[in-house]
Amino acid sequence: MIDPKSVFDKTLSIQSQTMKIHNLDTNVKHDIKVAPSNYARNLAGPEEIAIEGKEFVVSKTSLDAANYGTLKRGHKIIDSDLGINTISEIREMVIMGVVVGYRLRTS
């Protein structure tokens, strides 16, 4: 049987890069592998104000290896090129009934 986590992790490794994720609850920064989701968007805000954001994908394996804890809105993804991105939405990515990662939307 194919392990969904290992297939997902291998796929992410093609585009991933190391970034820091800042857990505001513990004030600790962890290095994790993060991949862009290749999805850009502009959100409609109050009175048709455009809110730019980025979207990233992170594997559960990477978070577990970093002993990160629970992802929460407001935590930060930090990269020297992309700057500081605040997590505004977290969506579980499930394959064959197993949580393999998370899609993190930032604003």
Predicted pLDDT of residue 16: 92
Structural domains in the chain, CATH included, are 4-106 (2.40.10)
90: exposed, middle or buried (C-beta count within 10 Å: 0-12, 13-18, 19+)? middle
SS3 12: helix
- In the chain, which residues have pLDDT < 70? 38-52
- pLDDT at position 107 is 83
Task: Note the pLDDT of residue 36.
Answer: 87
Predicted pLDDT at 92 = 95
pLDDT at residue 45, rounded to an integer: 57
